[in-house]
Amino acid sequence: MGNLLKAPPEVLSRIARYLPAQADCLALSLTSRELQVAGETQFYRNVTFNLKDISSDERRLEAFVRCLMTRQDRCSWVQSLSVTLSNRSLTRMEHKILAIVINILPSLRSFKYIDYSANNSVYHTAIDFHPPRRPLQAETSLRQFTCLNANILDQEPFLAFLHFHHGLQHLEFSEDALNVPHLGKGILPNLETLRAPVDVILRLLPGRHIKRIKTTISQDMAPIWVHTPRAAFDTIRVFSSSVCGDAEELLESLVLRMSNLEFLEIEDETCISLSILRCTKIKFLRLRNLWGEFSARVVFNRVPVLECIELQHTVELSAGVISLRWCRDVEKPYIVSWDCKVKEEWLRDWRKDLFVRHDMCHDDDVPVFDDDEVL
């Protein structure tokens, strides 16, 4: 321990990053004066609030802001802020606190707000996404912005917010929770990952190098992408989509415009025809719950460029959601779990970010298909 305490502060901070929970970081900061900074730095690095009880949650948020204001060097330690709301709406005080916090963290790289409230269809007072009142910097720190299941984005303040944080690379908001008509070419030049309604995606594609997109396609939707130049789709490598209703033809029409697409994920129990797949460069295909309708051997034979097929199982085990995966150069399928949260697979590397479930890879676990069964 004596030798450890003699290590430079930056080394101690790196070691503290391996602590699994914020409580461990806090405990480390209380062990000795030498380890206080290392523990506190990591404790503030990734801040998470799960808001359920109004009275206690408001006190926690207020205490957090007071701690930041008491020692303002702590503001620069916060790199990730995640707020999850369950079974209630935000109070006015919480709105004010979040508006303050977002604008006083100079090193914030990721902000995530997710509303799991049962009442999220009710109108909420918008979080103030005005940019901070300071001159526009050459480079701001924020790179990821996520706002899911909450219609909390006012148009003009949010546009100003995006203009200020022009270095954003990752932007997510629910497909039905944004009404900002003036997103155009002069905003977010560095955007690479985008989850949004189809019309917003189409407005942001031209002039940018967007590689990953996620959206929802519904049967009452017009194929508005036919009016977008094909060259705008050339940078897309990953496409994840939910399909509502009888919209398979719309999905296939959009997929065909992505000439360099490599990763296709269809979250609902929807098929895509082999004739469409043969016209693409897709290497990885991820589907859901098509156990009895599927033959990987047939698909590989008819789609030569395809390298891997995965079927997600809806059953969630203690170890997480499992998937059955076939690879062209592997004789038998095997079971995998992704190294990420459910529904975030589209953000990861399909070749690396997973665990092979050797404990479940037995013949009894693998469905049997006939050669004449097709996708």
Express each pLDDT in 31-82 by its tens digit.
Answer: 766 666 677 778 888 898 888 877 777 788 888 889 898 888 889 999 999 9
Beta strand pairing call for 263-266 and 284-288: parallel
> pLDDT at position 283, please?
97
- Which of residues 166, 191, 216 is at a domain's end? 191
Q: What is the mean pLDDT of residues 243-258?
A: 93
State the residue range of the domain holding 171.
Answer: 52-191
88 shares its domain with 41: no
Mapping DSSP to helix (H, G, I), strand (E, B) and coil, where does residue 290 land? coil
Better-scored residue on pLDDT, 110 or 164: 110
In the predicted model, what is the mean pLDDT of residues 286-294? 65
Model pLDDT for residues 72-111, shown as the tens digit of each residue: 888 999 999 999 888 777 788 888 888 788 888 999 999 9
263 domain-assigned: no
Give yes or no: residues 58 and 98 share one domain: yes
- 3-class DSSP assignment, residue 22: helix
The tally of domains found in the chain comes to: 2
Higher pLDDT, 116 or 169: 169
d(CA 233, CA 208): 10
Instruction: Check whether 363 has a pLDDT greater than 50.
Output: no
Q: Are 32 and 69 found together in one domain? A: no
Cα within 13 Å of Cα(136), Cβ side: 9
Q: Name the token pair of 183.
A: 């997103």
* Region of 373 on the Ramachandran plot (φ > 0 left; ψ -120 to 50 alpha; else beta): beta
Q: How many Cβ atoms are within 10 Å of 90's Cβ, its own excluded?
A: 23
Assess whether 120 and 154 both reside in one domain: yes
Residue 40: name the closest of 5, 2, 12, 8 by CA: 12
pLDDT at 7: 62
Q: What is the DSSP letter of 365?
A: G
Can you give the pLDDT at residue 361?
A: 55
Contact between 322 and 315 (Cβ < 8 Å): yes
Rounded Cα distance, 178 and 171, in Å: 12
Q: Which of 172, 191, 210 is the last residue of a domain?
A: 191
76 & 174 share domain: yes
Mean pLDDT of all residues belonging to the chain = 80
89 conformational bin, left if phi > 0, alpha if psi -120 to 50, beta if neither: beta
- The verdict on 70 and 175 lying in the same domain is yes
Q: Residue 176: which pLDDT band, with cuts at 50, 70 and 90?
A: low
73 and 167 share a domain? yes
Same domain, 62 and 132: yes
15: in domain: yes
Lowest mean pLDDT among 4-13, 205-214, 352-361: 4-13
What is the mean pLDDT of the segment spanning 308-329? Answer: 77
Structural contact between residues 289 and 310, judged by C-beta atoms closer than 8 angstroms: no
What is the average per-residue pLDDT within 128-148?
74
Confidence class for position 19, pLDDT limits 50, 70, 90:
low
Best CA proximity match to 262, nearest among 287, 288, 297, 236: 236
Query: Does any domain span residue 156?
Result: yes
Residue 21 has pLDDT above 70, yes or no: no
CA distance 312 to 268: 10
pLDDT at residue 265 in the model: 95
